[in-house]
Structure 1
Amino acid sequence: MGSSSPLHFLNSTPLLSSPISPAHSSISSPGREIERLAKARSKLLESENQQTPRIPPETREQHRYVSKDGKCRVNLGHIDERGRFLSDIFTSFVDLQYRWFLFVFMMCYITTWFLFAGLYYINASIRGDLVQERPLGTNQNKYGEQYACYVGIDGFISALLFSVETQRTIGYGSRTVSASCQEGVLLVMLQCIVGSMIDALMVGCMFVKISRPKKRAETLLFSRTCVIANRDDQLCLMFRIGDLRESHMVDAKVRAKLIKSRQTAEGEFLPLEQTEIDLGYETGSDRLFLVEPQVIKHNIDVNSPLWNLGPEQLRRQQFEIIVILEGIVEATGMMCQAKTSYIETEIEWGARFEPCMTLEKGSFRVDLRRFHSTYKVPLPNCSASQAHQLM
């Protein structure tokens, strides 16, 4: 028995006729213990897989330099010289979010109201012009002197009301300042000047904030994907741009950048190198008359950064194409800029955009339902450089 294996022991246990004690069973059944541990391990692995699901590499979302809606995903940290923002206080106010913008100006008004109310109250208290120390309706202070400095101020609340009435030019008539009070007249003049400056700053900031041209970019459309196909026997990268408004962009221009990481010959790593993508700068085709949706093309020639990239290389590479559309808003005359980006998985090889403009009753009609639609066309699965060598 001493040389018997666990498997031989398990095979011989059914022949026993006497019951086995629990203690003896736990010692003499190592096979069941191994099976129990294996089941526990499998359950543990299943629970771990449920808590942390594994995502295939092809379905992972790539970090974008510029999002599809044009927002740059770059966060500046460890800014030591915060005082630079105060040197351009107007732009700092305009860049604030609306809740902080309204909060700052509310605090400006409230602060000036309380500040001048305190000055009025202190001045009236020093001169003895508080109403509780003289008969109501008279213009005498507690010493019986005529022409008190402030009329109708009996405490800080009435001084606060007088401050609000002065700055907002309400003037209910129950609280006034006497002409014989030089310091009171100077305070009123100073508060009127400060109030006018705050009003001018708020109106200017509010107008600029409401009419900011980046809101105009919300009505500019970019196609969801880029396509690569032949046009006039030339391999081209193409995307579509459109405008939803009837007021058109003035002097509209489009340009594109290729963002890609690379390592130099000296071993320096460049994380976000920007390479210009020519959209027809020399020929003037980058200047648009954006009345209807237009397909913008980039000729993939020997000077193009996509010259050596075929369909397989596009899937293996990691890069981002940023498209920038600039123009002047016709209504306001302000410069507007709209941006979007395309990563390698958003480039369709061998495809073209469906036509979305037709002629109906003497005018052109644009069907925006086809703006993002594409259709397949035959195209060899080789890069532009390989196709050039085969010619």
Structure 2
Amino acid sequence: MFACAYLLINTLFAALYYVGGDTILHADPDSFWQAFVFSFQTSTTIGYGYYLPKNNFAHVVVILDSISGILFVAIATGLAFAKFSRPTARVMFSRNMIVTRMDDQPVLMFRMGNARNGQIIDANVKVVVTIPQITKEGQNIRRVYDLKLVRNNSPLFSIGWTVMHTIDADSPIFGFSESEISNRNITFVISLTGIDEVFSQTVYDRHIYQGDEIQWHKHFVDVIETDAKGNTVINYHNFHKWKDM
């Protein structure tokens, strides 16, 4: 895209040289290609060799051509740096949510894995559920409810995180059966924010689970292992796996 824009700018200035007539020394006034080459040499500030500005009109256009070339390079460099230096969260989410039992209570959970080389500082996760409902007036709407999490903050998200919501009497999905959650077009929206430890910039990621992506009465397969050097690592081969209770 940048290359096309740069060539377009050179084409526009080449058109000015061309319509100006005999404005370039040693160039054919009827050759648009030679006018384009002269414009390219001017905008890139590589210096003139065979072609030179011939009159005052050419000198004015050369000044504008040089300024536009310098500004374009500066803007393109800034945009490229901003794009490639912006950190991304690169969080892996488990393929499914599961409903299991913990301390004799049903718990909805999913996994997140940090796929970055660095750590995410002060990571915060938020989960909302959207439930289609019918009002007393008979209108179909989608209500959005926040899910209270067992823990929604991690001071240092370095490897993995299992996010849990207890399905108790205060839960928006309390009393829903497996078939209701699967068939009522219920959606769970996950958002994660944190601070990149290298760039000290905010990173974010999001994920959406549909109601039919929940596995009921399951446990996640353990993924935390210790390598040969004694470091704690994640076995990503088991990251999406679950087993029966």
- TM-score tier (shorter): 0.7 to 0.9
Superposed structure 1 runs of 4+ greater than 6 Å apart: none
What residue is the counterpart of 2:10 in the other structure?
113
Alignment partner, residue 59 of structure 2: 185
Say whether 1:287 aligns with 2:153.
yes
Residue 205 in structure 1 maps to residue 79 in structure 2: yes
Residue among 205, 214, 222 paired with 2:93:
222
State the AA in 2 paired with 1:263. Answer: I
Structure 2 distance, partners of 1:119, 1:364, is 65
Matching of residue 277 in structure 1 with residue 144 in structure 2: no
Structure 1 Cα separation of the partners of residues 172 and 64 of structure 2: 63
2:206 match = 339
1:239 deviation in Å? 0.8
Distance 2:48 2:62 in 1: 15
Q: What's the CA shift string for 1:88-107, capped at 9, x where partnerless?
A: xxxxxxxxxxxxxx2xx344
Which amino acid in 1 is paired with 2:244? K
Runs of 5+ unmatched residues, structure 2: none
C-alpha contact 2:125 2:193 (8 A) present in aligned 1: yes
Unpaired runs of at least 5, structure 1: 1-101, 131-148, 378-391
Matches within 5 A, 1:1-391: 102=1, 105-123=2-20, 125=21, 130=22, 150-155=24-29, 156=31, 157-177=33-53, 181-213=55-87, 216-217=88-89, 219-270=90-141, 272-280=142-150, 285-288=151-154, 289-360=156-227, 362-377=230-245
SS in 2 for 1:266: coil
What does the per-residue CA deviation read over 1:6-38, in whole Å, with 9 as the maximum and x for residues that have no partner? Answer: xxxxxxxxxxxxxxxxxxxxxxxxxxxxxxxxx
User: Which protein has the bigger helix share?
Assistant: 1
Paired positions, count: 241
CA distance, structure 2, for counterparts of residue 250 and residue 190 of structure 1: 48
* 1: CA distance, partners of 2:125 / 2:224: 21
- Encode CA deviations 1:191-215: one digit per residue, 9 max, x unaligned: 11111222223223333344454xx
- Structure 1 residue 237: Cα displacement: 0.9
Shift of 1:233: 3.8
Q: Percent identity?
A: 28
**If you compute each CA radius of gyration, which structure gives the higher value, 1 or 2?**
1
Q: Secondary structure at the match of 2:157?
A: coil
Contact 1:152 1:158 in 2 (8 A): no
TM-score when scaled to structure 1?
Answer: 0.56
Cα drift, residue 230 of structure 1: 2.6
Greater percentage in strand = 2
For the aligned residue pairs, the C-alpha RMSD in angstroms reads: 2.5
**Relative contact order (C-alpha < 8 Å, sep 6+): which is higher?**
2
Report the Cα distance in structure 2 between the residues aligned to 1:114 and 1:291, rounded to whole angstroms.
51
Q: Distance in 2 between matches of 1:286 and 1:329?
A: 18
Matches of 1:177 and 1:269 in 2, distance apart? 71
